[in-house]
């Protein structure tokens, strides 16, 4: 027998995958050692050892297909494998090998335990059974994994490794994998202890979360390309996990377009909104849904980011007073000039307006900004009045808030009970609660939960937020002229937009503006107007949702809040 083996040529095929069915299989190196020992003992002639890390559950393994093609050409007569399951776990590849044995192209398959010969029908029958059992096992595991993943999602847990900016934790609250860092672990534990909460299975990376947030804010402002953004991110400290290199453009786009960052779970074409997930398990958002949607508009090309060659400060925010076209700018011999584009909605217009130097335009802007400086004595008086009235109204709002929170707890208990019934061992066949019933009932409860949370958010904002927003607004209004004079090009443009929105026009080289609410000309405070009337307008504005975003005036790439910007109007 050993004499015959010397004349036969074998391919050695070694396979190992990360699939669950391969978890107990020897590693590639271990399989290679065992098969070499076996080949030496049996005096086999090895043509080549072929290795690959791939699942046999699907077709298309390159080395496997290469091996069979070479056997069809007669380069070898047999295959040496550690176990038959290394050959196939799908019906196509298994059937192909047995067909080649029928045709005499594969004369035998050897494992350390058994030989399967092409001339013995019982051997091929046993191979059929082995392949069928392997496929059945893979199918069962696939179904189990799908149910396990669905169960995790319904409980609010992301079923795979979290994206950059987040950390996976084990059931003991320890960071897993190559992202483990002792300092990060300590910070997470301290934060959980201070908040009185336990660590979740996914937590924001305390070092990378502010960088991801800043990336969103920068890109939402439509002032740089993806390539520029990835360099800014690298300068801030964000790099590849393994290589420590600058992130690729595609990685940055994935970060900017992944709903995971606002708290949702995207999975297999479905999107699980954070409001539909149990609050105690779902991961914490890095950005708001509003900011995420704004970034998507930029990515979609509705607001195309482009590199600016010249430092044109006021393009895109002033219209022509004659034809309504936008005012653009160009540089001639080192001097910036502004003029009408002579286009409106892509259609050329007839316009007689002439150029204006940037320096002449800025003189007019400086005068207009200066007209809206708020006197400090009005601010001091207003803050005293607002603090007093806020205390009087807080008790009423707190009682309303308590009732709304009780309603929210009741809804969350109903959602938890619904989930418990859905994943119960007694509901495997859906007899207690079908998939359709679960989805319908969950949708109704989720909508009610969302409605109550929005009401709670409105009340909380009116209790805690609006007064702070007023204070920020006053700080801006008192110092807007000084901030404009000392600010860079980007900051000046934003301050202009805050005060005048899209109401500015240029006609015969004269700037015409109308302030946005709730800004008042300085002359209002000097004349006989009742200060309380002015304060009522300001207070009503912020009580109805007017806001400041402190980061819009921050220089790109920085985290320090230098100036506060109102975004409740048309800015």
- 115 lies in the same domain as 234: no
Residue 307 domain-assigned (yes or no): no
Domain-terminating residue out of 90, 122, 152: 152
Task: Scan for tokens 């989930």, then name that residue.
Answer: 419
How far apart CA 120 and CA 156 sit, in angstroms, is 54
- 274 lies in the same domain as 179: yes
How far apart CA 39 and CA 191 sit, in angstroms, is 59
Give the per-residue pLDDT at 559: 29
- 260 lies in the same domain as 290: yes
Give the per-residue pLDDT at 253: 93
Give the per-residue pLDDT at 14: 92
- 246 lies in the same domain as 329: no
- Rounded to two decimals, the pTM is 0.47
- 330 lies in the same domain as 397: no
- 232 lies in the same domain as 339: no
Backbone angles phi, psi at 202, to 5 degrees: -135, 125
Strand duo 9-15 + 45-52: pairing: parallel
Long-range pairs of 339-345 with CB within 8 A, sequence gap ≥ 24: 340/506
10-residue mean pLDDT profile of the chain (571 residues): values are 61 78 68 90 91 86 93 93 89 91 93 92 91 83 76 81 91 89 90 86 91 91 84 87 83 93 88 83 90 90 52 80 89 89 81 92 91 85 76 68 82 82 77 80 84 75 64 80 83 83 88 83 69 75 59 38 33 30
Q: How many CB atoms lie within 10 A of CB 155?
A: 16
Residue 306 domain-assigned (yes or no): no
Give the per-residue pLDDT at 446: 83
- 293 lies in the same domain as 420: no
Name the nearest CA neighbour of 499 among 525, 524, 473, 523.
473
The beta-strand segments (E) located in 41-82 are 45-52, 78-80
- 363 lies in the same domain as 380: no
Backbone angles phi, psi at 10, to 5 degrees: -130, 145
Residue 311 domain-assigned (yes or no): no
Q: What is the CATH number of the domain that holds 204?
A: 3.90.1750
Residue 160 domain-assigned (yes or no): no
- 515 lies in the same domain as 471: yes
Residue 141 domain-assigned (yes or no): yes
- 326 lies in the same domain as 415: no
Give the per-residue pLDDT at 402: 79
Neighbouring residues of 241: CB distance < 8 A, sequence distance ≥ 6: 164, 178, 179
How far apart CA 313 and CA 392 sit, in angstroms, is 45
Q: How far is CA 438 from the centre of its chain?
A: 28
Give the per-residue pLDDT at 544: 64
- 26 lies in the same domain as 136: yes
- 29 lies in the same domain as 142: yes
Give the per-residue pLDDT at 570: 29
Residue 492 domain-assigned (yes or no): yes
Domain encompassing residue 338: 319-367
The total number of structural domains in the chain stands at: 4
Backbone angles phi, psi at 570, to 5 degrees: -105, 25
């Amino acid at each position: 027998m050993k004499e015959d083996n010397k004349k036969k040529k074998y391919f050695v095929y070694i396979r190992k995958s990360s699939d669950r069915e391969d978890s107990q299989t020897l590693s590639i190196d271990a399989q290679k050692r065992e098969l070499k020992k076996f080949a030496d003992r049996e005096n086999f002639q090895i043509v080549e050892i072929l290795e690959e890390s791939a699942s046999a559950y699907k077709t298309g393994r390159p080395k496997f297909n290469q091996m069979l093609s070479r056997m069809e050409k007669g380069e070898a007569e047999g295959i040496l494998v550690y176990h038959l399951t290394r050959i196939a776990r799908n019906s196509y590849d298994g059937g192909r090998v047995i067909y080649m044995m029928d045709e005499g192209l594969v004369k035998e398959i050897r494992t350390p335990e058994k030989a399967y010969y092409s001339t013995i029908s019982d051997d091929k029958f046993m191979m059929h059974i082995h392949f069928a059992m392997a496929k059945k096992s893979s199918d069962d595991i696939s179904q189990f994994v799908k149910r396990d993943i669905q169960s995790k999602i319904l409980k609010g847990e992301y079923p795979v490794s979290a994206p950059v900016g987040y950390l996976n934790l084990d059931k003991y609250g320890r960071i897993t994998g190559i992202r483990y860092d002792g300092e990060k672990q300590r910070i997470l534990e301290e934060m959980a202890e201070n908040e009185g909460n336990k660590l979740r299975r996914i937590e924001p990376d305390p070092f990378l979360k502010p960088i991801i947030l800043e990336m969103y804010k920068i890109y939402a402002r439509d002032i740089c390309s993806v390539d520029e953004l990835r360099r800014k991110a690298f300068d801030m400290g964000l790099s590849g996990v393994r290589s420590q290199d600058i992130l690729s453009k595609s990685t940055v786009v994935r970060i900017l377009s992944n709903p995971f960052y606002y708290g949702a779970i995207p999975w297999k074409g479905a999107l699980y909104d954070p409001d539909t997930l149990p609050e105690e398990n779902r991961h914490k958002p890095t950005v708001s849904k509003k900011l995420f949607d704004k970034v998507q508009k930029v990515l979609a090309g509705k607001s195309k980011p482009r590199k600016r060659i010249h430092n044109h400060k006021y393009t895109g925010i002033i219209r022509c007073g004659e034809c309504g076209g936008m005012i653009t700018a160009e540089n001639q011999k080192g001097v910036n000039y502004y003029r009408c584009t002579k286009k409106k909605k892509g259609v050329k217009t007839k316009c007689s307006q002439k150029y204006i130097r940037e320096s002449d335009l800025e003189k007019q802007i400086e005068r207009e900004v200066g007209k809206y400086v708020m006197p400090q004595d009005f601010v001091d008086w207003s803050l005293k009045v607002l603090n007093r009235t806020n205390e009087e109204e807080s008790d009423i709002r707190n009682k309303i808030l308590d009732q709304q929170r009780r309603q929210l707890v009741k809804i969350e208990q109903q959602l938890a009970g619904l989930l418990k019934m859905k994943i119960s061992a007694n509901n495997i066949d859906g007899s207690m609660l079908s998939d359709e019933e679960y989805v319908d009932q969950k949708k109704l409860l989720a909508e009610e939960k969302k409605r109550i949370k929005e009401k709670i958010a409105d009340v909380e904002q009116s209790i805690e937020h609006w007064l702070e927003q007023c204070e920020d607004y006053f700080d801006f209004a008192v110092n807007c002229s000084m901030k404009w004079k000392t600010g860079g090009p980007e900051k000046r443009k934003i301050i202009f937009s805050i005060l005048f929105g899209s109401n500015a026009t240029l006609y015969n080289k004269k700037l015409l503006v109308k302030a946005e609410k709730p800004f008042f000309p300085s002359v209002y405070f000097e004349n006989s107007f009742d200060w309380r009337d002015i304060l009522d307008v300001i207070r009503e504005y912020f009580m109805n949702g007017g806001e400041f975003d402190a980061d819009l005036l921050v220089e790109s790439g920085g985290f320090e809040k230098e100036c506060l910007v109102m975004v409740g109007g048309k800015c």
